[in-house]
Amino acid sequence: MATSKHPKPDKHTAFCYSFKPRELKYFLFGKKICPNCGGALKKCKGYVTLNDEMPHSRDDCSRIDTSSVKYYRYSYSCAGCGSVFTLEELAEGK
Ligand SMILES: [Zn+2]
């Protein structure tokens, strides 16, 4: 079958999310409060591209092409003081 799709400039062959249990708990239920100033945190979705590297899942993903993995990560920014925290930092607490 001929493929006439436009080539995507940022092609990823796989993607994954990675939450540790604490991070998932914070993500779903935690109060998104800035540890510095107590202001409200705003969620930002970002990702990094991993090359030939699938975190936390050596076995599950061994049969798919992981040459370019889109790895989603979340961070939170504070409008009050401008601090940015990763989900991991917030989940681990003070
Ligand atoms: Zn703040």
Going from the Cα of 34 to the center of ligand 1, the distance in angstroms, rounded, reads 5
Going from the Cα of 19 to the center of ligand 1, the distance in angstroms, rounded, reads 24
**Entry pTM:** 0.65
Angle at 84 between CA 89 and CA 45, to 5 degrees: 85
Pair type for strands 84-86 and 14-17? unpaired
Percent of the chain with pLDDT over 70: 78
Going from the Cα of 49 to the center of ligand 1, the distance in angstroms, rounded, reads 28
Lowest mean pLDDT across 34-43, 57-66, 77-86 = 57-66
Going from the Cα of 12 to the center of ligand 1, the distance in angstroms, rounded, reads 34
What are the sequence ranges of the domains in the chain?
14-92
pLDDT band with cut points at 50, 70 and 90 for residue 8: low
Q: Specify which residues 1 forms β-bridges with.
A: none
Cβ atoms of residues 15 and 70 within 8 Å: yes
Going from the Cα of 41 to the center of ligand 1, the distance in angstroms, rounded, reads 7
Going from the Cα of 39 to the center of ligand 1, the distance in angstroms, rounded, reads 5
Query: CA-CA distance, 87 to 24, in Å (whole number)?
Result: 9
Helix/strand/coil (H/E/C) assignment for every residue in 35-78: CCCCCEEEEEEEEEEECCCCCCCCCCCCCCCCCCEEEEEEEEEE
